[in-house]
Amino acid sequence: MTPHRDDYKNKNRVDESNRNKKVVHGGSSNGNGRKRKHRESSEDEFEYSDPVEFREQEARRVQSGIVQVEVFSQEECDIIERKIDEVVSDAEAGLYREHTVDRAPLRNKYFFGEGYTYGAQLEKRGPGQERLYRKGEVDDIPAWVHDLVITKLVASGVIPEGFVNSAVINDYQPGGCIVSHVDPLHIFARPIVSVSFFSDSALCFGCRFQFKPIRVSEPVLVLPVKRGSVTVLSGYAADDITHCIRPQDIKERRAVIILRKTRPDAPRVDQSPSPPERPSPLKAKRAHRRADPDAAHRPRVLEMDKEENRRSSSSRPHRRNNSSENYWRRSQDSEGSRKVKMRRH
């Protein structure tokens, strides 16, 4: 009796059949109910109905952007660690410029070559707001970093000659951490190179932090980092997923030297436009202060009107429409106008 309803049902069956074909064509479907949807794009993005399968895929993507190599011997680590202790001592003695040292609970940062604003230092929060400090506001990269670390990495083929112009030393105490972040893409070129010292630890990817008390969600990938190991991040691991250091992974003191190259077009603090300073207006003498039509002055004008209306009502009882603006114009245009003293609130 209602053929259009039958057509609608048939149309739904055809659409459902087509959707099933698209799922099979785009990826996989099995009897366990797991479906993988493939969306064709430049980034070849995937979505999974199974969280475990999604995490496994994410972990593989992260691992594709990580290279770890053993470059430094135990003896070389001992020498470099003594140099790091000297940096800490010099900072305690106040021998560095203001923006070279950044202190936080259980973690200190030492910027050399280039430093940048981040976290609570930002005027506006959010990715892309980081700015390099002006040239000369942090100390130069120490000679021992060039001689003992950078030269060794260049000779090992980890980085090219002349790549590094920024070196940061992060010094963690037990229980220290650094929250999930992506090294600012508009500040630093890739790869990001880090060398670990003092103790073994772990670098985690894809965590979410909560505070008071501090809690960290399950990471997509936990990457062990041993003392003396070099970790190189690029691609997906550097750009498309956050990384962090969890408090539970710092069981002993640990330091890391992060070596990076700043982009030539990276913005600096002094390049951020600031609103021009407005000159302070000169105040007239109190008896000659004119009424301003702005709202801020309107209460004074109204008080003046009340006073004037009281005076004018005794001499000119039939006068009307004596607004503050019209009255003030007439009082200023008249040569013999008397001065009206405004009551101050």
Burial of 188 (0-12, 13-18, 19+ CB in 10 A): buried
DSSP assignment of 4-60 equals HHHHHHHHHHHHHHHHHHHHHHHSEE-TTS-EEEE--STT--EEESSHHHHHHHHHH
Collapsing DSSP states into helix, strand and coil, what is residue 285? coil
Active site residue 327: no
| Choice among 110, 116, 172, 236 that is catalytic | 116
Please provide residue 74's backbone torsions phi and psi, each rounded to the nearest 5 degrees.
-65, -40
Task: Name the token pair of 272.
Answer: 């951020």
Distance from C-alpha of 5 to C-alpha of 14, rounded to nearest angstrom: 14
Burial of 149 (0-12, 13-18, 19+ CB in 10 A): buried
Which sequence positions are flagged as catalytic?
A: 116
